[in-house]
């Protein structure tokens, strides 16, 4: 059974989104995931991190974003947490094209839901938001010819 745990803590600076994408790409390569799956994981994680930075912390780079990654057996669990302003209405926030920022497209949660097998969002106003994403790692049978 594969197991691994990675904990990454970083400033809420938008430039750090690329670091999280590199981390996910590296983990995906270690797991020997198809490139398409790696790309989808990178999008889902970067959307969660971007939401924490832009919406949770209002783009203030002087806060902390937490990313925990766990591989246990056939599951990849990624948790992105902020201690920002929180989400007042999670159901509304998860609707396509909804955004508190008129300059944003409001598709972050849509991508997370589409690319991950499970998505859970917990939030408390003025306490922060925790986004938990799970990807089931399917074993691809090797065909013998």
What is the tens place of the pLDDT at every residue in 47-91? 999 999 999 999 999 999 999 999 999 999 999 999 999 999 999
Asked if residue 63 belongs to a domain, the reply is yes
Query: Mean pLDDT over residues 126-139, rounded?
Result: 94
Residue 37 or 101, more confident: 37
Q: What is the residue-averaged pLDDT of the chain?
A: 92
Structure token pair of residue 8: 């990454």
- Number of helices (H), then strands (E), in the chain: 4, 5
Mapping DSSP to helix (H, G, I), strand (E, B) and coil, where does residue 136 land? strand
In whole angstroms, give the CA distance from residue 31 to residue 118.
19
Q: Is residue 9 part of a domain?
A: yes
The answer to whether position 143 is within a domain reads no
- Partners of residue 34 on adjacent β-strands: none
What does the alpha-carbon distance between residue 77 and residue 69 come to, in Å, rounded to a whole number?
A: 6
Residue 141 in domain? no
Q: Find where tokens 């917990």 sit.
A: 122
Pairing of strands 128-136, 118-124: antiparallel
Q: What is the CATH number of the domain that holds 85?
A: 3.30.565.10
Give the active site residues.
Answer: 47, 51, 104
Q: Does the residue 79 lie in any domain?
A: yes
Report how many domains make up the chain. 1
| Domain encompassing residue 22 | 3-136
| Residue 75 located in a structural domain | yes
Q: How far is CA 93 from CA 61, 99, 137, in A?
A: 23, 7, 28
Assigned domain for 74 exists: yes
């Amino acid at each position: 059974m594969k197991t691994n745990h990675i904990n990454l803590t970083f400033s809420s600076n938008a430039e750090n989104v690329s670091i999280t994408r590199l981390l996910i790409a590296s983990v995906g390569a270690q797991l020997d995931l198809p490139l398409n799956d790696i790309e989808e994981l990178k999008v889902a994680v970067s959307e969660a991190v971007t939401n924490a930075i832009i919406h949770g912390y209002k783009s203030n780079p002087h806060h902390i974003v937490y990313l925990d990654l766990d591989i246990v057996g056939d599951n990849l669990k990624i948790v992105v947490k902020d201690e920002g302003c929180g989400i007042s209405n999670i159901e509304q926030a998860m609707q396509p094209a909804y955004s508190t920022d008129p300059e944003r497209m409001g598709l972050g949660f849509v991508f997370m839901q589409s690319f991950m097998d499970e998505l859970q969002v917990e939030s408390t106003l003025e306490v922060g938001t925790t986004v938990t994403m799970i990807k089931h790692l399917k074993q691809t049978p090797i065909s013998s010819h």
